[in-house]
Amino acid sequence: MTAFEPGDRVRVRAAEKPGHVRTPGYLKGKEGRIDSVLGTFRSPEDLAYGLSGEPERPLYKVEFLQTEVWDGYQGPASDRLYADLYEQWLEREGGAS
Amino acid sequence: MSEGHPHEEIRHESSPYAARIRAIEALLLEKGVLTEPEIQDRIAYMEARSPANGARLVARAWVDPEFKERLLSDTKGAAQELGIDASGPVEFVVVENTPAVHNLIVCTLCSCYPRAILGRPPDWYKSFEYRSRAVREPHAVMREFGFEPPEGVEVAVHDSTADIRYMVLPMRPPGTQDMNEEQLAELVTRDSLIGVSVPATQGNNGSALQRLPRSVRRDT
């Protein structure tokens, strides 16, 4: 079971976590849409420190509009950016997940 | 910048990082974490991979629609069909260019790349410049590679931030109906598998023309 499904509107948590994370800073706080569920993977945030990485975490391909990611984006308004983000970094748009 | 390829000047051979890697390697050997044969095996594995693998996959997909579907839905399986061993824990996703969407791959956090298929990434792919600019100004970056998507085409940038490695399936260039699979594979450049450009043909602009494989250039 995953918390989100394709089409769901989400926001990337604007949280700070020290150490190894796979959520790029430029997407924190940005709103996007779940494009697809990529599967579950052992958490790289723990694997990086020799831990088991368990339990496996759902990983999503999240779609963003470039014009919503960057101020003054130079390109067509339909341009998109996709990033692979772990469930713990996503919240439902407009509230906590 | 006027040269169009500022990225390619970046070299790391004599950097402090190289010295550090050699020191770490020596320590890993000394402490018995790794053996010399294991390191050599790994180097051989990586050297055996190259963008030519990607080119073969793309060319087969261009001539065989059913293979294309398998490449898009099960990349590892499709690679295995051509004798390319991409097994391992890493997952692959192939994104298809269409008349409506052009795809571009980057890893902003490090240098994630489909190494099990394409081998080592080019130096510019790992540079801070490419990693920061590809997400923020993809059009400017592609222009520097001599490519500009046609008007109305959506650019989709894929930041491979986690456990998936991405490769682009470019569109088959026009005017290649008479080419066989092997000739088609020669058109597929490493850059076109990353998405900073498209396969080179006489229909492209001048800078792309200069990157044509010799055998094709002779005929143009």
Mutation target to probe the A interface, by most A beta carbons within 10 A, among B76, B157, B160 is B157
**ipTM of this model?**
0.94
* Average pLDDT of chain B to the nearest whole number: 87
B215 given a catalytic annotation: no
Is residue B178 included in any domain, yes or no?
yes
* Claim to verify: residue B36 and residue B93 sit in the same structural domain: no
What is the pTM assigned to this prediction? 0.86
- pLDDT tens sequence across B146-197: 999 999 999 999 999 988 999 999 999 999 999 999 999 999 999 999 999 9
- pLDDT tens sequence across B11-42: 556 788 889 999 999 999 999 999 999 999 99
Q: Is the CB of residue B110 less than 8 Å away from at least one CB of chain A?
A: no
* Claim to verify: residue B153 and residue B93 sit in the same structural domain: yes
* Claim to verify: residue B118 and residue B37 sit in the same structural domain: no
Residues with pLDDT less than 50, chain A? 97
* Claim to verify: residue B206 and residue B151 sit in the same structural domain: yes
* Claim to verify: residue B134 and residue B26 sit in the same structural domain: no
Range of the domain at B201: 50-217
* Claim to verify: residue B73 and residue B162 sit in the same structural domain: yes
Is residue B7 included in any domain, yes or no?
no
* Claim to verify: residue B133 and residue B34 sit in the same structural domain: no
Q: Where are the domains of chain A?
A: 9-91
Q: Is the CB of residue A84 less than 8 Å away from at least one CB of chain B?
A: yes
**If you measure CA to CA, which chain A residue comes closest to B93?**
A38
Mutation target to probe the B interface, by most B beta carbons within 10 A, among A80, A85, A87, A88 is A80
Is residue B177 included in any domain, yes or no?
yes
* Claim to verify: residue B132 and residue B31 sit in the same structural domain: no
Provide the CATH topology of domain A9-91: SH3 type barrels. (2.30.30)
Number of domains comprising chain B: 2
* Claim to verify: residue B55 and residue B26 sit in the same structural domain: no
* Claim to verify: residue B99 and residue B188 sit in the same structural domain: yes
- What pLDDT score does B88 carry? 81
- What pLDDT score does B207 carry? 42
Give dist(CA B127, CA B110) in Å, integer. Answer: 9
Give dist(CA A72, CA A18) in Å, integer. Answer: 30
Give dist(CA B126, CA B196) in Å, integer. Answer: 14
End-to-end CA distance of chain B: 29
